[in-house]
Structure 1
Amino acid sequence: MNDAFQLIGFDEGAWGPALAKATVVTMEISIGAFIVGILLGLVTALAKLYGNSKLQTIAKTYTTIFRAVPELLLIILFFYGGSALINSIYAYFGHDSVDVAGLPVAIAVLGLVQGAYASEIFRGAIQSVNSGQTEAALAYGMSKTKIFFRVTLPIMAPLALAGLSNLWVNLIKDSALISVIGTNELLYTAKQAGGSTREYLLFFLTAAFIYYVITLISSYLLRILEVYLRRWQPKH
């Protein structure tokens, strides 16, 4: 048993350094996709609420597609389809084929999926803002851009945070889907370690524990952020 647990240490020949590096890759995927998702979600929500008919149609089509198609299928389509497209372009210009890295594909696909869900969270939060406050800002002479950043955004941010927190936790777990295209994130590395040592249960439990710790830390930090965002709101 002690020999088994030494495998997850940081001694020579142990898998601790590889698992630590894989955890960093998992966080890179999650943070990158979350940032992409927030930006896309906010833009899409604004397009749904304030855009013209064409923008609203595009926004609704985007959210429908990326909420309907399984993320695993999207990852496979983007990875292999994107690889074929890029190599076709390279071949057309007389260049050799290239290998498409899994990390940017993971960030792009998961970001697009998160953006589709985040757009509905932002849309609901924006619609929850009291119209009287925006009307008062208009009467004061503020532009629509200033109203959004100084009135709407500070009010909607705490309202959207709960939904975005759930998206973040789900995103950490969804990052494991990238293992299907061979990216050395946490689950893929745990599977490699299990295959090399025949200690599958040990390494999968280790990966599960790391995901759990990441979630606990994330929940704590998000609670601090929520308190900060609500600091100016009246307490009931």
Structure 2
Amino acid sequence: MSGLQVYAPLLALGTWMTIKLALISLLLSLFLGLLGAGAKLSTSRAARWMARLYTTLIRGVPDLVLMLLIFYGLQTWLGQLTDRLGWAYIEIDAFTAGVMTLGFIYGAYFTETLRGAILAVPFGQIEAARAYGLSPMQCFCRVLFPQMMRFALPGLGNNWLVLLKATSLVSIIGLAELVKAASDAGKSSFQLFNFLVLAAVIYLLIAVASNSVLHRLERRFAVGFERGAR
């Protein structure tokens, strides 16, 4: 592939953009997932209703449609808002829009995963922590989180891999991630098939590395459980 040397920097930048986009979106998804799981398990009817509406909406609308709605709809809304307030025009760049969209979408899936993991932890563990005088934050960090992660990691790992592949959708709004970089390089060199195969191999390598990290995390959070089972 003679064009590989010429377009290798472009592919490297696209790969880095994909990884950065996926990781930041993952952090936002986890944050929204924790909020959504807490809302679904809340005693507040309004909070439960809002969380249910959020997850139903996300699971019912295609990712691509949501991305276009958020990118163009939010940009239009911000433009109208700045006009009314007399502020300078605010433009949402493709990377920010991609992070917001992916984080918002997969936050709904993480909500269900984390809710199930929280419910899998025996409530007596939380009651015992409270009886020892631990604050709510200490209960979460020292008791609930380590145990819920043992149940959540398989689902979180699956969602992470799906999120990683979904970063390719951001090319539709102009972000130069891996798929767009490979597509541009392939069209310029008339070797589109070869560059798309190369992009697929890069995605596969990232997925393999991710699986290795996830396997280590699963072993790490299962240590106490394995000892207890013996």
Q: Which residue of 2 aligns with 1:124?
A: 116
User: 1:182 & 1:133 partners in 2: Cα distance?
Assistant: 48
In the other structure, the counterpart of 2:203 is 211
Residues 42-100 of structure 1, C-alpha deviation per residue, up to 9 Å, x if partnerless?
Answer: 11101111241111111111111111111100110111112212222333345665543
Pick the aligned partner of 1:135 from 102, 127, 134: 127
1:38 — aligned with what?
30
| 1:224, distance to aligned residue in structure 2 (A) | 1.1
1:148: Cα distance to partner? 2.3
Superposed displacement of residue 141, structure 1: 3.4
Report how many residues are paired.
228
Residue 153 of structure 1, CA deviation: 1.2
Deviations 1:108-130 (A, max 9, x none): 11101111001111111111111
Partner residue in 1 for 2:4: 8
State the TM-score, normalized to the length of structure 2: 0.93
**Greater helix percent: which structure?**
2
Runs of 4+ aligned structure 1 residues displaced above 6 Å come to: none
Other structure's SS at 2:175 match: coil
Instruction: Quote the offset at 1:136 in angstroms.
Output: 2.5
Query: What residue ranges of structure 2 are gaps of 5+ in the alignment?
Result: none
Pick one of 164, 171, 175 that aligns with 2:167.
Answer: 175
CA distance in structure 1 between the partners assigned to 2:181 and 2:133 by the alignment: 57
> Judging changes above 3 Å, is the alpha-carbon distance between structure 1 residues 42 and 98 closer, same or farther for their aligned structure 2 residues?
closer
Structure 2 CA distance for partners of 1:72 and 1:143, relative to 1, 3 Å: same
Deviation at 1:143, TM superposition (A): 3.6
Cα distance change, pair 91–230 in 1 and its aligned pair in 2 (3 A)? same
CA 1:122–1:96 in 2, change beyond 3 Å: closer, same or farther? Answer: closer
In structure 2, what is the equivalent of residue 147 of structure 1?
A: 139
5+ long unaligned stretches in structure 1 = none
**C-alpha RMSD of matched pairs (Å):** 1.6
CA distance in 2, matches of 1:167, 1:174: 10
Code of the residue aligned with 1:151 in structure 2: it is: V
